[in-house]
Amino acid sequence: MNAAAQSEMDAHWMRQALAAARDAAQLGEVPIGTCIVVGDTVLAVAGNRTRTENDPTAHAEMVALRGAAKEATNYRLSDAVVYSTIEPCVMCAGALIQARVRRLVYGARDERAGAVESHFRVCDTDFLNHRIEVSAGVLEEECREIMQEFFRARRQDKRMKAEG
């Protein structure tokens, strides 16, 4: 596949992840979304569910990996491409390694907790037995903006409650 076609395909699947992030925001979750595909087949799409499920491991990537593994009837997802709106944290990056994911595509960096490129470099470290091809910055502005809008609204709500 040529670079232009790959770029368009990445943008297409990232839009699916963004839709899941928007759905998560509607539930009061931090708006992160993940879409997992093999070829042209969607295995799973999920948004964060930590608050709604009272589960600290219910990050979008974890929920999507669980769904994809069930759909594939295999915990190894060696042909899968994972699209995440935000750079995965250390837990999620570790799970991607355990699933043997082929490729990770993410939108915006997470300077605080990102474990793929911002910190730790979990997906390409020599210390682990699997490395993941990583592409960053796909629909980066949209992915960053949805997070910024969410946290801006939360700060506004806190100010209004404090004043109220």
Closest by alpha carbon to 84, among 38, 43, 140, 123? Answer: 140
Q: Respond yes or no: is residue 61 known to be catalytic.
A: yes
Residues 6+ apart with CB under 8 A from 144: 107, 108
Q: Which of 29, 53, 61, 163 is catalytic?
A: 61
CA-CA-CA-CA dihedral for 70, 73, 75, 79, to nearest 10 = -110
Query: Using CA atoms, how far apart are residues 137 and 49, in angstroms rounded to an integer?
Result: 24
| Residues belonging to the active site | 61
